[in-house]
Chains A and B, each alone.
Chain A
Amino acid sequence: MSQPEPEIYTFDFHKETAEILAESSDELKLKIGEFAGPLDLLLYLIRQEQANIFDIPIARITDEYLRFIRLMKSLDIAVAADFLVMASTLIEIKSKMLLPRDPTAEAAGEEMDDPRQELVDRLLEYEKYKSAAQMLYEKTTLEQAVFARGKIESDDANAEIDAGVFDLLTVFQKIVARRAEEIKMEIHREEISLADMIRDLKRRIFETGEVSLIAFFEEMHSRRELVTAFIAALEIVRTESVKLIQKKTFGDVILRKV
């Protein structure tokens, strides 16, 4: 029932260019063109219609342009906003051309502005840069066939050779400074386990006979160590034959071997 489509267009809008491929029924893909923007597409359509750029058949070109836009949409391709802007410009020009001329202006002998003029100027301007882009393309292609010498070894190319004794000294000082910081952090972090603490405290009690708790606690460097020392003291009192002696309220507590 359905007639085979004479041609299907696919559009590729990657990198700001539209690539239009015509696909015939035998799956052969024909690249119709690659468009760098709406002006480029418009130039292509004008050429296709073999129209004169200074006398663009605006109705026909607008229809063709809109057909392309619709095809893009039917293929679920996001149509770049710039292409839609051009579509609205074309429609605006088309409608202006349909309006009857102002008879009073005509009677006064005034030149009627051609609504297409601005578009023609833009197309001509764009076409110049399109040609310039082509010229640049040829130049860069040619240039890629020419090779200059690679970099020669120099102080610029080998920056490390540039370092003197003082550079080494500076770097060394930095390393030393960093190392000092690291050591400080290690002391801060160093923690003694409860088992070590108990062993240490026990040894001191049994070697000296008695230990002042306040003096013992004052040796601690951190809150954590203090807590560990306190638990160690409690543990020793519980497990060993050690007495706690306090001579007056809130006074020093002495751990004494029994």
Chain B
Amino acid sequence: MSETAAQPARGTSELVAVVEALIFVADEPITSKLIGEVLDEDKQAIEAAVEQLKQEYENRDSGLQIREIAGGWQIATRTEFHEEIRKFLKTRPSAKLSIASLETLAVIAYKQPVTVPEILEIRGVQSASAIKTLLDKRLIVAKGRKETVGRPMQYGTSKDFLIQFGLKDLTELPSVEDFEDLAGGLT
């Protein structure tokens, strides 16, 4: 005598609709796994539903889009409407990172976990204030100490980094070797 009333099997369109609702309410990108747990559905079914939802948004030229960010799904506006949105929100784009901070972030993103002396080695310049800026902006996090002389702190990128740079995961970063052509092209 099973007490658990079996969930009425959802039809495809119902599943797509409830997935949309969950992605909408989630503060942070929500993973297929988490959606599956909440809905008691397997991951494949969720991923198929998300895919269909994405298609629906695209097909009707929606002002919104379903994006894969930091390993999860997010509803966000389309880039085309940024001017109108800013006009409404009365905001300006937030201050951009300095060249020094961006370079430091690039080294950390590709070399993580990486220590301050290792960053200095590549950039040829002290990066202390850039590292502080990146920590303050939660783009990087401390990732333990390296077992070497002085046990320096190691840094790596955070989930916020993926979110703020619109990345699915770290593998989405172009390979650093791809930049070699550019570097070699300097003659």
Give A residues with C-beta under 8 Å from B. 15-17, 34, 36-39, 43, 46-47, 52-53, 80-82, 85-86, 122, 124-137, 139-149, 151-152
A127 touches B186 (CB 8 A): yes
B183 A136 Cβ-Cβ under 8 A: no
Query: Quick one: given A145-B79, A147-B76, are A38 and B100 in contact (CB under 8 Å)?
Result: no
Contacts A36-B123, A52-B187, A151-B27 known; A140 to B97 CB distance under 8 Å?
Answer: yes
Q: What is the minimal beta-carbon distance from A84 to any residue of chain B, in angstroms? A: 11
A143 touches B164 (CB 8 A): yes
18 contacts between A and B (CB under 8 A): A16-B126, A37-B125, A38-B125, A43-B186, A80-B125, A124-B184, A126-B123, A127-B182, A128-B179, A130-B106, A131-B183, A132-B107, A132-B109, A132-B179, A137-B96, A143-B165, A148-B76, A152-B27
Contact A16 B130 (CB under 8 A): yes
| Given A126-B123, A131-B179: A144 touches B82 (CB 8 Å cut-off) | yes
B144 interfacial contact with A, CB 8 Å: no
Known: A143-B166, A152-B27. A86 touches B187 (CB 8 A): no
**Interface of chain A, helix or strand or loop or mixed?**
helix
Separation of A15 and B13 alpha carbons in the complex (Å): 54
Residue interface bits B148-187, CB-to-A below 8 A is 1, else 0: 0000000000000000111100000110100110111011
Known: A52-B187, A124-B184, A139-B167. A149 touches B102 (CB 8 A): no
Number of A-B contacts (CB under 8 A): 141
Chain B contacts with A in 53-103, Cβ cutoff 8 A:
67, 74-79, 82, 85, 89, 93-94, 96-100, 102-103
Interface residues of B, Cβ cutoff 8 Å to A: 24-25, 27, 67, 74-79, 82, 85, 89, 93-94, 96-100, 102-103, 105-107, 109-110, 122-127, 129-130, 164-167, 173-174, 176, 179-180, 182-184, 186-187
- Nearest CB in chain B to that of A55: its residue: B187
A126-B122, A139-B166, A147-B82 known; 15 new pairs, CB 8 Å cut-off, are A15-B100, A16-B129, A36-B123, A37-B103, A127-B186, A132-B106, A132-B173, A132-B174, A132-B179, A133-B102, A135-B174, A140-B96, A140-B164, A141-B93, A148-B75
Max chain A Cβ within 10 angstroms of own Cβ: one of B76, B79, B89, B125: B125
| A16 and B127 contact, Cβ closer than 8 Å, known pairs A36-B99, A133-B99, A133-B102 | yes
Given the contacts A131-B183, A147-B85, A82 and B102 also touching, CB distance less than 8 Å: no
CA distance A132 to B122 in the complex (A): 13
Q: Give the CA-CA distance A143 to B77 in the complex, in Å.
A: 11
Residue of A nearest to B107 (CB): A129
- A101 CA to B96 CA in the complex, in Å? 50
* Complex Cα gap A124–B25 (Å): 46
Contacts of A132 in B (CB 8 A): 106-107, 109-110, 173-174, 176, 179
